[in-house]
């Protein structure tokens, strides 16, 4: 079952699990020394799927100026290749469509996940760039144009 929580709704245990997984993947696994905990956590919606006492999938959703950003998208190694990533993005987009209809939705995708995000309707809006030696693309969700009525 998916949980959507504002920062104030997270228990200390929730936040510990989130930061533990984010640090394990984005700092240790990917070898990127950066400030993982930031002020965005205070205003983001934290989307969490659990398995017993573990996190199966996680992302945070937040509004930045006029756009909605989906970030810190992760599936821990032991739960990869089971469809949780697809379910995570679908669930995040359902949340965004419900709470922020007609908003621009953007992500910063690691280059090897570009095709994955394109399957959900994201298009590339930047050239390949490197952030901590990892290739990324900026991507935006394409707006669906309503069919013309005849």
CATH 3.40.630.30 fits 2-141, yes or no: yes
| 2: nearest Cα among 41, 46, 44 | 46
Q: Torsion angle of alpha carbons 42, 64, 21, 119, nearest 10°? A: 150
> Among positive and negative, which fits the CA dihedral 54, 60, 61, 63?
positive
Identify the pLDDT of residue 34.
83
Q: What are the mean pLDDT values of the chain's consecutive 10-residue runs (150 residues total)? A: 95 94 92 88 96 92 93 94 95 96 94 96 97 94 62
75, 85 Cβ separation under 8 angstroms: yes
| 44: nearest Cα among 4, 94, 83 | 4
Domain ranges of the chain: 2-141
Chain mean position to CA 87 = 12
Work out the angle at residue 109's Cα, subtended by the Cα atoms of residues 125 and 95, and round it to the nearest 5 degrees: 95
Identify the pLDDT of residue 71.
96
Identify the pLDDT of residue 121.
96
Contacts of 23 (CB under 8 A, 6+ apart): 36
Identify the pLDDT of residue 144.
62
Identify the pLDDT of residue 103.
92
32, 26 Cβ separation under 8 angstroms: yes
Mean per-residue pLDDT over the chain, rounded: 92
């Amino acid at each position: 079952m998916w949980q959507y929580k504002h920062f104030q709704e997270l228990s200390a245990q929730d936040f510990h699990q989130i930061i533990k997984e984010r640090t394990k993947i984005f700092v240790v696994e990917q070898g990127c020394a950066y400030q993982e905990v930031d002020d965005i956590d205070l205003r983001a919606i934290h989307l969490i799927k659990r398995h017993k006492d573990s996190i199966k999938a996680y992302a945070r959703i937040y509004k930045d100026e006029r756009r909605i950003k989906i970030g810190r998208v992760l599936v821990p190694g032991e739960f990869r290749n089971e469809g949780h990533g697809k379910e995570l993005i679908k669930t995040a987009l359902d949340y965004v469509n419900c709470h922020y209809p007609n908003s621009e939705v953007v992500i910063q995708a690691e280059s090897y996940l570009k095709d994955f995000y394109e399957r959900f309707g994201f298009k590339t809006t930047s050239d390949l760039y490197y952030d901590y030696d990892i290739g990324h693309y900026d991507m935006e969700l394409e707006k669906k144009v309503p069919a013309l009525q005849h």
